[in-house]
Amino acid sequence: MHPLKRLMNPSSIAIFGASNNPMKMGSIQLANILETGFAGEVYPIHRSEETVMGIPAYKSIAEVGKQVDLVQLVLPTEVVPEMLEQCGQAGVRSAIVISGGFKEVPGDVGIERERQLKEVAAEYGIRFLGPNCVGIMNGQRSLNSTTIVDPPMGGGIAFASQSGAYTAMINPYLRAQGIRMCQTISVGNEADLDLADCLDYLRDEDEIKAVGLYVETIRRPREFIAAARETVRKKPVVAIYVGGTEAGSRSSLSHTGAISGPDELYDGLFRQAGVLRAADMDHMLDLLWILSMQPLPEGRRMAVITNSGGPGSSLAYHLEKVGMEAPAFSAALRAKLDAVTGALTYTGNPIDLTFETNIFIFKQLLELVFESGEVDGAFIYGIFGAPDFMVNLKKRLPELQAMESEWDTGYQSFLRELAEVSRMHAKPLVVMSFLGAGSVSIQSLIDSQVPVYPSASRSARAMRSLVDYAAIVGDLGDRREGL
Amino acid sequence: MHPLKRLMNPSSIAIFGASNNPMKMGSIQLANILETGFAGEVYPIHRSEETVMGIPAYKSIAEVGKQVDLVQLVLPTEVVPEMLEQCGQAGVRSAIVISGGFKEVPGDVGIERERQLKEVAAEYGIRFLGPNCVGIMNGQRSLNSTTIVDPPMGGGIAFASQSGAYTAMINPYLRAQGIRMCQTISVGNEADLDLADCLDYLRDEDEIKAVGLYVETIRRPREFIAAARETVRKKPVVAIYVGGTEAGSRSSLSHTGAISGPDELYDGLFRQAGVLRAADMDHMLDLLWILSMQPLPEGRRMAVITNSGGPGSSLAYHLEKVGMEAPAFSAALRAKLDAVTGALTYTGNPIDLTFETNIFIFKQLLELVFESGEVDGAFIYGIFGAPDFMVNLKKRLPELQAMESEWDTGYQSFLRELAEVSRMHAKPLVVMSFLGAGSVSIQSLIDSQVPVYPSASRSARAMRSLVDYAAIVGDLGDRREGL
């Protein structure tokens, strides 16, 4: 079994450094483990407290007296090696070392401490994440050992990161967009398990459809490239790298003791590894989202269907800017589309309906363009959800109150049918909308595996990543299995 | 008085095409006018109804029998010229023609109708917006004649747009980020009033601190450039242009009858006019937000203060990528910073604190870097708002409930003080955070005029726009008056 498979799927966890003092990181992490629904055993280890957060505490790992699958250490730096040794003696084989103060701090003392830590781990056969990390999240186990409350678990995205903040603090952002993470791994200083190990592990996790990496350095380039190339045969890998500038390098060194190289070097490394490079976290999440949900297009020809001109023009502009096409439709196809929309609508691509047009015809239009074989994918901008427009009307026309649930139901099934059209034709669909995940309409789309972005450029870049990944898979002479 | 000053500040409005039928655009617009708090008179004009949405309706504009400052027409295309004529006869001098079916539809009939409309307007001295637009919003008058419910009014941003959707539909996005719009103008086909007129008008609106434009074509380039150059002496102008690709051009033509030109031509035109070009709506809003709130920097040297390594490294990386610097601090400054942070923190720039460090020292650090004269502005990434981390802890440690309001108050005043440090030194401050505008902490920052972005690249690009605008103002040999 891969050491990360074991580490990410414990049946029992002991946590060192949690107490009844709420200002401690360990306390927040324990509260999150306890409240997120983890079904296994949880043992707080505390020198003096009888109970921590209402559950029995143990003076030492030995005192637990049962097999402990995983320990998480949130302790003052000096005592970490000793405590890890006690864990080893008690038969623990997986650890997460949250504590900082190792290689990332100025001077030699941190380097020496990290060496010590590795020595202890090696002696007892312990595989570990960290030091200087923030914990893990595994939605399949309802396990959240990080500092963040209520992470949006589920979905098909895994994220392994040299930044703890990006695995743990990003959650409000994910929630607003409706993105769910299946697994996150904070690797910290990577004294033992590193990003290459994460790729080896995540490659065989069937629920994971796309893997994201936050990179400040790659410590084992050869192994990384090999692990990535194997992984991208099965699922896309997207990475961001921020070590390539002068200040970025200074920052990485102080952050995880990472020695970073120039941007171009990493560009080349990612290309060689078949890894897509994203500019920043928000960009990477946009790509992982679509890559984890939508099928790959067979080409770059895209349809745009909209009921607002500005977003339609913007989508047409941005998809061309990123190297795709919005081809003019054939006369034969336009005749079919005109029969649905009426003569006053422009159907040449974009298909630009107007505000008052019955939005439910979008489904027929999408069917026609997909059936035509003239496009490889589609973008839709639509004003979904009459309820959002009806708030003031309902105050003025109280009889409308009764119609609301009817509208809601109508929209929800319409949107699911749109997603179904895309799935039937195995052509990717992206929706642009300013309504966030708080809208029931948008949530319906997301639940049907359709990603929704709030701008044309983000929609276009996301779709483009499917084209890019299709090219990578083609290059590698293989196809990933269906989503 | 500028015709748009008159149009945007009516004391009375008549609306044609609102009824008790909720599925009509005019009905939604009337409900919004009535429910948004507009203090003037509102007259629905309807052939048969006695009352519309509970207020008296009039058979014709003549029947109103009082001065009407503004009419909004949401009628079938064919009757628009005739109704506009009746308005002219009744002494109306400002109109918004929502109806489509003019120059933007295929064939000659639309062009002829638009000519007719202009003829009637000219005959009666009516100045108008549209046709084919969605209405206006003026926060200073609590006036919202668009289809969108509850726009976030206030702030210092104005937006004039050839896309109606972008003025009206974007509101959920604005609300999620905490951006407020002071005035929006949907210009539609620009048969009369156009973007150059909007610039002439907005230039002298003191509450407006930054102007955004959505452009598919510029119909009067000479006048546009002159109007823009005059405007940017007083306030920044940011534009997006999406007509420059093949499909984009087709789309623009069908949208507002716009004949668009190549991208590079518009790039040059904007440069000549002193207008900053943004890539897309989301990008433009990011820039308008900071430009409307923060002072201009005197140079490109930026400090980064963070309590998480990843965001710190990302900020350092992205600010260099967009042509700014994160200079290494002098030994003298580092000694002062070390005295505040303790020896284990890296203070070289970025200043990288850790999760458990007392975040309130950010204020002293910001004061020290600004006083040093070594930077021209600052970025902060911080985990603001203990409440967001305490949700599960409070379930486990009920005694914490009592502390919540204390924390909240502490954070809110700390964040206001941070903003005050920036204001005192007249150096711009940008905050990066994954917490959206729903967080009280983030709302405190926004209320103190500090923009908050959810990614490093967006934070850096926003700050860079201040540098760019400072250069433009310098080029024009003038300085705008203080914000």
Look at A304 and B251 and tell me if their CB atoms are within 8 Å.
yes
Residue B118 to residues B81, B93, B114, B256, B306: CA-CA distances in angstroms? 9, 13, 6, 16, 57
Distance of CA B444 to the CA centre of its chain: 19
pLDDT value for A479: 43
Look at B310 and A255 and tell me if their CB atoms are within 8 Å.
yes
- Distance of alpha carbon A347 from alpha carbon A350, whole angstroms: 6
Distance of CA A71 to the CA centre of its chain: 25
Q: How confident is the model at residue A230 (pLDDT cuts 50, 70, 90)?
A: very high
Look at B35 and A392 and tell me if their CB atoms are within 8 Å.
yes
DSSP label at residue B480: P
Look at B250 and A304 and tell me if their CB atoms are within 8 Å.
no
Look at B389 and A28 and tell me if their CB atoms are within 8 Å.
yes
- The answer, yes or no, to whether residue B173 has pLDDT greater than 90, is yes
Contacts of B323 in chain A (CB under 8 A): none
Task: Read off the pLDDT of residues B394-446 as tens digits, 9 standing for 90 and up.
Answer: 888 888 877 777 777 788 889 999 999 999 999 999 999 998 898 888 999 99
Q: How far is B124 from chain A (nearest CA, A)?
A: 30
- What's the farthest any 2 CA atoms get from each other in chain B? 81
A183: exposed, middle or buried (C-beta count within 10 Å: 0-12, 13-18, 19+)?
A: buried
Collapsing DSSP to helix, strand or coil, A364 comes out as helix
pLDDT value for B480: 44
**Residues forming a β-bridge with A183:** A138, A158
- Distance of alpha carbon A370 from alpha carbon A96, whole angstroms: 49
Collapsing DSSP to helix, strand or coil, A74 comes out as coil
Which one of B147, B313, B344, B375 makes the best mutation probe of the A interface by having the most chain A beta carbons within 10 Å? B313
**Contact criterion met (CB below 8 Å) for A368 and A305:** no
| Mean pLDDT, residues B41-63 taken together | 96
Min mean pLDDT across A280-294, B7-21, B253-267, B452-466 is at B253-267
Regarding an ipTM greater than 0.90, the answer is yes
- What's the farthest any 2 CA atoms get from each other in chain A? 81
Contacts of B31 in chain A (CB under 8 A): 392-393, 395-397
**Nearest-by-CA chain A residue for B110:** A344
Collapsing DSSP to helix, strand or coil, A174 comes out as helix
- Strands B181-186 and B136-138, by their bridges, are antiparallel
Distance of CA B335 to the CA centre of its chain: 42
Q: How confident is the model at residue A195 (pLDDT cuts 50, 70, 90)?
A: very high
Sheet holding B12-16, edge to edge: B41-45, B12-16, B70-73, B94-97, B127-129
Task: Read off the pLDDT of residues B337-354 as tens digits, 9 standing for 90 and up.
Answer: 999 988 667 888 999 887
Contacts of A54 in chain B (CB under 8 A): 396
Look at A170 and B22 and tell me if their CB atoms are within 8 Å.
no
Contacts of A159 (CB under 8 A, 6+ apart): A166, A167, A181, A183, A184, A185, A211, A212, A213, A214, A288
Look at A356 and B25 and tell me if their CB atoms are within 8 Å.
yes
- The answer, yes or no, to whether residue B383 has pLDDT greater than 90, is no
Percentage of chain A modeled with pLDDT above 70: 94
pLDDT value for B233: 95
Q: How far is B271 from chain A (nearest CA, A)?
A: 20
Find the angle CA(B286)-CA(A164)-CA(B437) to the nearest 5 degrees.
30
Residue B133 to residues A420, B12, B29, B216, B237: CA-CA distances in angstroms? 34, 20, 12, 14, 22
Higher per-residue confidence, A399 vs B81? B81
**Nearest-by-CA chain A residue for B32:** A392
Q: How many cross-chain Cβ pairs, A to B, lie less than 8 Å apart?
A: 324
- Distance of alpha carbon A191 from alpha carbon A117, whole angstroms: 8
- The answer, yes or no, to whether residue B259 has pLDDT greater than 70, is no
**CA torsion, points B112, B113, B115, B118, in degrees to nearest 10?**
180
pLDDT value for A5: 98
Q: How confident is the model at residue A478 (pLDDT cuts 50, 70, 90)?
A: very low
Look at B396 and A54 and tell me if their CB atoms are within 8 Å.
yes
Find the angle CA(A289)-CA(A290)-CA(A294) to the nearest 5 degrees.
135
Contacts of A214 in chain B (CB under 8 A): 310
E strand or H helix that includes residue B174 = helix B171-177
Contacts of A314 in chain B (CB under 8 A): 163, 240, 242, 280-281
- Distance of alpha carbon A16 from alpha carbon B315, whole angstroms: 33
pTM of the predicted protein model:
0.94
Look at A53 and B397 and tell me if their CB atoms are within 8 Å.
yes
- Distance of alpha carbon A410 from alpha carbon A412, whole angstroms: 6
- Distance of alpha carbon A326 from alpha carbon B248, whole angstroms: 9
Q: What are the E-state strand segments in B403-482?
A: 429-432, 452-453
Amino acid code (one letter) for A22? P
Min mean pLDDT across A99-113, A296-310, A401-415, A419-433 is at A401-415
Which one of B259, B287, B396 makes the best mutation probe of the A interface by having the most chain A beta carbons within 10 Å? B396
Task: Read off the pLDDT of residues B288-330 as tens digits, 9 standing for 90 and up.
Answer: 999 999 999 999 999 999 988 899 999 999 999 999 999 999 9
Which one of B242, B435, B439 makes the best mutation probe of the A interface by having the most chain A beta carbons within 10 Å? B242
**Nearest-by-CA chain A residue for B329:** A247
Q: How confident is the model at residue B357 (pLDDT cuts 50, 70, 90)?
A: low
Look at B176 and A176 and tell me if their CB atoms are within 8 Å.
yes
- Distance of alpha carbon B363 from alpha carbon A360, whole angstroms: 54
Amino acid code (one letter) for B435? L
Q: How far is A176 from chain B (nearest CA, A)?
A: 8
Number of Cβ within 10 Å of residue B197's Cβ equals 24
Task: Read off the pLDDT of residues A333-361 as tens digits, 9 standing for 90 and up.
Answer: 999 999 998 866 788 899 988 766 677 89
Collapsing DSSP to helix, strand or coil, A332 comes out as helix
